[in-house]
Amino acid sequence: MTFVRSLLYAIWFYVSMAVIGLLALPISLFSRSFAMNAVKFYCHVQAFGLWLICGISTEVRGREHLPKGPGLIAMKHQSTYDTLAPFTFMDNPAYILKRELLKVPVFGIYASRVGIPIDRAGGAKTMRLMLAAAKAGTASGQQIVIFPEGTRQLPDTPADIKPGIVLLYNELGVPCVPVALNTGLCWQGSGFLRKSGRIIFEILPPIEPGLKRAEFTQKLKDALDPATVKLVAEGRAAQDAKA
């Protein structure tokens, strides 16, 4: 049954991407706000599809901790869904994302409109370009979203903080808001299967700007790790109750 549901959801995922993406494309090419609204609508459609087809509910906790204006969002990363769901609860996110995603038909156009693409092999030049784009984003009121671990991790993996988040924190001068989650229990990595359960995003209290590198890194890790462990345990209990 899980395979059948996952297959139906895959059809839902790509058909809705094509339909919404193509219908909104003419205006999205010239209007970032319209492109953002199209992306947000698509992501709401995905949350609904996961619930309807796969029996996966999505809960968001701690919305009061989200910045009303510019901010830096440091999010755990376990699943492709981590790149979708935040568009349903953040006002104006701008993702730090892989440049390769710009090559994906339809999706790539929207990624270029609402994200900050980087070449992960570009070294110091990539860092400079990312920082310049992030500064421009915060100046216009965006919330810069970055996965501080750099890539997807298994649900039980402790946070491994990479230099990119430290650079942004030091240079942007805005609060850093950690976000814990348990998405990997239902949608692991980039895998095909979607297991029924309860996905939770927990927005944690912000870390004030101006801390030294070591202190900031430890504060971020101390926020993400215990919160993630708690959410993963809660998600597993919900899955076990359905079994």
Mean of pLDDT values over 142-160: 93
In tens, the pLDDT along 152-172 reads: 999 999 999 998 899 999 999
pLDDT confidence of residue 125:
74
Mean of pLDDT values over 127-151: 90
CATH topology of domain 57-242: Glycerol-3-phosphate (1)-acyltransferase (3.40.1130)
Sheet holding 115-118, edge to edge: 56-61, 197-203, 176-181, 71-75, 143-146, 93-98, 115-118
In tens, the pLDDT along 78-122 reads: 999 999 999 999 989 998 887 777 777 778 888 888 888 777 666
Q: With H, G, I as helix, E, B as strand and everything else as coil, classify residue 52.
A: helix
Q: Between β-strands 197-203 and 176-181, what pairing exists: parallel, antiparallel or unpaired?
A: antiparallel
CA distance 235 to 64: 22
pLDDT confidence of residue 121:
64
Report the percent of the chain where pLDDT is more than 70. Answer: 98
Q: Please state the pTM of the whole predicted model.
A: 0.93
Find out whether 41 and 77 touch, Cβ atoms under 8 Å.
no
String of DSSP letters for 174-238: S-EEEEEE-GGGTS-BT-S----EEEEEEEPPPBPTT--HHHHHHHHHHHHHHHHHHHHHHHHHH
Mean of pLDDT values over 54-80: 95
pLDDT confidence of residue 162:
92
In tens, the pLDDT along 41-57 reads: 999 999 999 999 999 99
